[in-house]
Copies of this chain bind each other. A is one copy, B any other.
Amino acid sequence: MEVKNKHVVIKHHVEDAPKECDFEIKISDFALSVDPGSDDIIVKNLCISVDPYQISRMKRHSSSHGTITAVEPITPGQAINGPAIGKVVASGHAKFHKDDVVWGIFNWAEYSLVKERNIIKKIESFEFPLSYHLGVLGFNGLTAYAGFFELCKPLKGEKIFVSAASGATGNIVGQYAKLLGCYVVGCAGSQKKVTLLKEKLGFDDAFNYKEEKDLNLTLKSYFPDGIDVYFDNVGGEMLDAAIANMKAFGRVSICGVISEYIDTGKRCSPNMLDVVYKRINIRGFLAPDFMNVFEEFYEKTSDYLRTGKLKVIEDASTSMESIPSAFVGLFKGDNIGKKIINLA
Binding site for B on A (CB under 8 A): 56, 62-64, 67, 71, 235, 239, 248, 254-257, 260-261, 264, 267-286, 289
Contact = CB atoms under 8 A, between A and B. Distances in A.
A283 B252 CA distance: 10
A303 to B, nearest CB: 29
Select the residue from A63, A248, A270, A285 with max chain B CB neighbours within 10 A: A63
Contact of A67 (B235, B248, B268, B286): B248
Given A276-B63, A284-B276, A267 B264 contact: no
Given A248-B67, A260-B271, A282-B281, A276 B255 contact: yes
How many copies the complex holds: the figure is 2
24 contacts: A62-B277, A63-B277, A63-B278, A64-B273, A67-B277, A71-B277, A254-B272, A254-B275, A257-B273, A257-B275, A260-B271, A260-B272, A264-B273, A267-B269, A268-B269, A268-B272, A269-B269, A272-B284, A274-B284, A275-B282, A275-B284, A276-B286, A279-B283, A279-B289
Contacts of A282: 275, 281-283
Contacts of A261: 273
Given A67-B248, A248-B67, A279 B272 contact: no
Given A257-B272, A274-B284, A281-B284, 8 more contacts: A63-B278, A264-B273, A267-B271, A276-B285, A278-B284, A279-B283, A281-B283, A282-B282
A260 B230 CA distance: 23
B289 A284 contact: no
Contact of A63 (B71, B267, B274): B274
A248 B277 CA distance: 26
B281 A286 contact: no
A248 B283 CA distance: 12
